Amino acid sequence: MSILIRGAEDFLSSARTLETPLTPDPEAFLKEREAASTFHTEEVPLGSLTNWHLGDRISHSSGRFFAIEGLSVRTNFGPTPQWYQPIIVQPEIGILGILVKRIHGVHHFLMQAKMEPGNSALVQYCATVQATPSNYQRVHGGRSTPYLDYFLDPGPRVVVFDQLLSEHSSWYLYKRNRNMIVEVPEHEEVPAADDFTWLTLGQLRGLLAQGNRVNMNARTVLSAIAYATPNPSAGVAREPDGFHGEIVRSHRSGASDDALASAMTWLIDQKAGFSLDVKRIDLPRMAGWICDEQGIRHHEGRHFRIVGLSVGATSREVGTWAQPMLQPNPGNVVCFVCRRHQGTLMFLVQAMAQPGATDRVELAATVQSTLGSYRGPRDLPPLAEVLDCDRSWVVVDAVQSEDGGRFRHADTRHLVVRIPDDQVIEAPANYRWMSLGLLNRLLRLGYYVNVEARSLMACLL
């Protein structure tokens, strides 16, 4: 039934708890790895960064990594028809890959405990491989990337998932990474290197519920996992009950070819209805922004700042370095509203234009908002009132970090609100109810579901 997921029909089994798990205490493993290294991060003037040039754009002396440029944006999406902003330009396509292997009959995911300088909780679980060509071709002379060849050259192993997916289209211009899941056969030995450990999906779910334990790059890869129809011969008998059972059933619903075609037609209508015109400009030409040696900031202190960060660490590819970071104002929130409709849990998504989106519009969560940027009620997005709903409706509430390699202290509250079956919601025409099965199928086709919504979907696994 799915185009790209192969051999994934019993990922569900990995949600079971083993009696003797390989990693008995994933939290303790994180703490231990954090204690094994010393980290120090400090904000420094943007003009003081070695090898970074600050001029019409901010770029690295090697010409690699990323640059920060100005962007002029015009759109009919949202309340603001025209603005300027800094944006990160990173044309390289990185690999975000997770190795999966069935151990004692249960799928395990090879996760790395990794420090990222921007994260509030510095060490988190990331994908098996998280690397741009600049990293793994060792432009800055770092160490080699473990497990890279499993993804660059999978050989006879099963490529469960392989797709380009967008990232943070409000902060990155046309950024996409290659999201991969590769399954190694049970009989193949894959030793876990330092900082690496095998976790079940059940353990990952526990970490996701805690918040700030599974990094953004791991979440986007995990979001591609589908709970497909169980294979009767595999003997995965017990169906989960409660809310998780409803999630699994929503994954198995509504993903017919007709439903997909109908959703795509609706999304094309949205793309045709929203205009978006972006133009890369020199940083000093951004009206409303102050650019100097200290950094880049909005003249009213809104949105985000571009700052310099000095990092001292022993467990990353390079011991110490300094780089620009994007630091958003606090208050980011992403929220799905869900409701049961004819027995299936449906999620309210919106077609959202974002300046850096490769194809203008992608599906976003019900509410995706930078509350710290808003000036007043006029700026509040539609349906923001659900953020103040009855606490008993909240089924997911955890703070997750954005990519800590580019964003500093970018903590986003992840909410899923389940409203009563008879509760009426009046949503604008660019909103639509979808099952998780349909959303997952769209996600796997490429630039259809934005990273903020995918991150939330990972929290629902």
Contacts with its own copies by CB under 8 A lie at 2-4, 6, 91-93, 133, 159, 162-164, 178, 257-258, 260-261, 264-265, 268, 271-272, 275-277, 279-280, 358-359, 445-447
Give the separation between CA 382 and CA 191, rounded to whole angstroms.
Answer: 49
Give the nearest distance from C-beta 237 to its own copies in angstroms. 27
Closest to its own copies by CB, 93 or 290: 93
Give the separation between CA 4 and CA 441, rounded to whole angstroms.
Answer: 9
Closest to its own copies by CB, 209 or 445: 445
Closest to its own copies by CB, 27 or 277: 277
Q: How far from the centroid of its chain's Cα atoms is residue 143's Cα?
A: 25
Closest to its own copies by CB, 104 or 285: 285
Give the nearest distance from C-beta 212 to its own copies in angstroms. 30
- Residues contacting residue 365 through CB under 8 Å, at least 6 positions apart: 334, 335, 336, 349, 350, 452, 453, 456
Give the separation between CA 47 and CA 67, rounded to whole angstroms.
Answer: 14
Helices (H) and strands (E) in the chain, counts: 9, 25
Token pair, residue 168, equals 């943070």
Closest to its own copies by CB, 260 or 395: 260
Closest to its own copies by CB, 159 or 389: 159
- Cβ atoms < 10 Å from Cβ of 178: 15
Closest to its own copies by CB, 39 or 136: 136
The pairing of beta strand 123-126 with beta strand 172-173: unpaired
Give the nearest distance from C-beta 168 to its own copies in angstroms. 17
Give the nearest distance from C-beta 25 to its own copies in angstroms. 37
Give the nearest distance from C-beta 279 to its own copies in angstroms. 5
Give the nearest distance from C-beta 3 to its own copies in angstroms. 6
Give the separation between CA 309 and CA 64, rounded to whole angstroms.
Answer: 18
The pairing of beta strand 82-89 with beta strand 172-173: parallel
Give the separation between CA 246 and CA 241, rounded to whole angstroms.
Answer: 7
Give the nearest distance from C-beta 370 to its own copies in angstroms. 25
SS (H, E, C) 104-169: CCEEEEEEEEEECCCCCCCEEEECCEEECHHHHCCCCCCCCCCCHHHHHCCCCCEEEEEEEEECCC
Give the nearest distance from C-beta 43 to its own copies in angstroms. 30
Closest to its own copies by CB, 257 or 388: 257
